[in-house]
Amino acid sequence: MIGITLDGRYRLEELIGTGGMANVYKAYDSATGQTVAVKVLKEEHRNDAEFVRRFAREAQAVLTLSHPNIVESYDVGNDADTGAPYIVLEYVEGGTLKDLIKEKGALSPKMAVNIASQVLDALQYAHGCGIIHRDVKPQNVMITLKGKAKLADFGIARDAEATTRTFAGTNVIGSVHYISPEQARGDAVSARSDIYSCSIMLYEMLTGQVPFAGDNSVAIALKHLQEEIVPPIEVNPRIPRALSDVVVKGAAKDASLRYAQAEDMRRDLLRALREPHGKFARLDKPEKEQQKRPNSLGIGTIALAVVVLLGLFGAVFLITQTMRGQNRDTASEFIVPTLTGKTLEDARELADLRGFQVSVDNYVLSTEYPAGQIVSQTPDRGAVGKEGDTIRVVVSSGSGVAVMPNLVGKTLQEAMLLLAEYDLQLGETQYAVSDFPEGQIIRQEPEPGTAIEEDDRVNIWVSGTANSNIAVPTFVDLTTEQAILTARESGFERVWVRFITPEEGAHEEIVQRQAPPASFSASKTTLVELWINRTYLGDYSADIAINLDIAQADQPVVVTALLDSGVEVVLYENTLGVGNQQPVSFTGYLREAGERTCIVYVGGQEVRRITAAFTVR
């Protein structure tokens, strides 16, 4: 169709993508002079009522969605000359997330969380509009030249209230490597189904591989139904434990154990970067989960599974009979190999060759073995085991030695964030008059570049005089109202509040953490930060989208909403690299309606103020 002009307006210039249902062309819009992408239903499907219906559903879905992290839709039509239904979309310069993973392999935790957070923002918005995507995968996430993620292809999206089901064995809806268990069974989907697929996609970003592979789509779908994913930290030990926990929770087989909303998962992803050793996302599975799972399988799936498994058992039986010379009484015995000192990946391969399985008991700090290598094993090498036995291993997470960052010239808040990132403790704080602005750090011990270990104490000297400062009160365990009132009565002018998901059994609206720590001597202009338990963020939301120029690498970006009390509620925080006009988009939630001033901070400095209207969604 290259060279054809649809409805006298859209000239198709180049084929840029193809799928099972449609082709995508780069096109020229003569009415606007812009380059656009045009998705055209394939000719062989134009007389198929089901494909026409699905294509029309996509057209309807994309026209109702408008979000910075969703590929924008401009027009839909049906060409009079060719009879081809088409959708006109934003042309995104760049590539897919799948291309990026193929190019770079495993992405850094910060990059992966940044991309996943943008996709989750898009999903939160789509779910709020009643649309379930149902095919979240790296091939459907576009990455612009500036690093912005845009979710595309709502070709099999459905209304959240839709109940149409598809038999799992014949026509699986969704890409099999990322499909949720309920989709594989043919059950009704929900927002949690998209969250599962997004978690599998994040798994691939963090490890460079999908959790389930197989010889065919049926084998892979059965693994989604029956097998738990190997925690990504076991594949890539450099992933923060908390981040691995978020992925495992998002990809839980039982949908009720996953995050209820995309926003909940996005919030935990950002928290995992701030609290890499936190246990807030640990998944405690019900004891009876395994007994319940078979009851939820559809009859068709059970029949399919039985057929596949019988075939597998038959093949295994024939192979083992041949290899063992018809010996049915005893399992083969093997010598346990040496796994200590090998990488986890190499250890798994070696164990598999010898007829064993590998299970990770724990990760520990080690100065002898680099991160990812086996520190110890049970049973030890040379022992005799039977085919299928499990070798339990302990894996090194590294030496825990890092290099002391430079705190000189930074504010107390910036220093506290760095210390938390390096798992360091604040030691003694002294004040001295200097040429530095008041509140900035003028000296530190240990000095920058010194080798440090987790929980080391860092002493700092701050420009100013201690006499003019205020002793920071204890905010932990106070209610929200008590903490804010205490901060104001103590004389502090700036208070930030972060709402975090409570641990199981914890009380709502109670301060869990604070910065600076209690009894710390600080000026009245020092920023007081409070982390408060709150599950329900509010009925009022605002979609916020801005572009920022970032001049230095790894700059923290924070957006807050200013309340009438003068307290600022943190709506968004992330870390961005160097670049001009970098997009930041998210949905913020409050318990109060109306217009609010939102303040944008880059590297701890205010750079912009905008007004956002928080309305009922």
Collect all residues with Cβ–Cβ distance below 8 Å to 22 and sequence separation of at least 6: 39, 40, 41, 42, 55, 155
Alpha-carbon distances of 562 from 589, 601, 614, rounded to whole Å: 13, 13, 12
**For this structure, is 215 an active site residue?**
no
> Which residue is catalytic, options 75, 79, 135, 245?
135
C-alpha closest to that of 535 among 497, 508, 506 = 508
- Tokens 């009876």 belong to which residue? 288
CB atoms within 10 A of CB 107: 21
DSSP SS3 for 561: strand
Distance CA(290)–CA(294), nearest Å, equals 8
Phi then psi dihedrals of residue 60, to 5 deg: -65, -40
* Cα–chain center distance at 260: 14
Peptide bond into 231 cis (omega under 30): no
Q: Which residues pair with 574 in a beta bridge?
A: 557
Q: Round to the nearest angstrom and report the end-to-end CA distance of the chain.
A: 42
* Cα–chain center distance at 469: 41
CA dihedral 190, 195, 198, 203 (to 10 degrees): -130
Tokens representing residue 496 in the block: 């930030």
Distance CA(152)–CA(386), nearest Å, equals 50
Contact 138, 98 (CB under 8 A): yes
Alpha-carbon distances of 281 from 104, 236, 266, 376, rounded to whole Å: 28, 18, 12, 28
Distance CA(86)–CA(39), nearest Å, equals 5
DSSP SS3 for 609: strand
Angle between helix 217-226 and helix 299-324 axes, rounded to 10 deg: 100
Distance CA(165)–CA(172), nearest Å, equals 10
Collect all residues with Cβ–Cβ distance below 8 Å to 310 and sequence separation of at least 6: none
- Tokens 């007004």 belong to which residue? 611
Contact 48, 40 (CB under 8 A): no
Q: What residues act catalytically?
A: 135
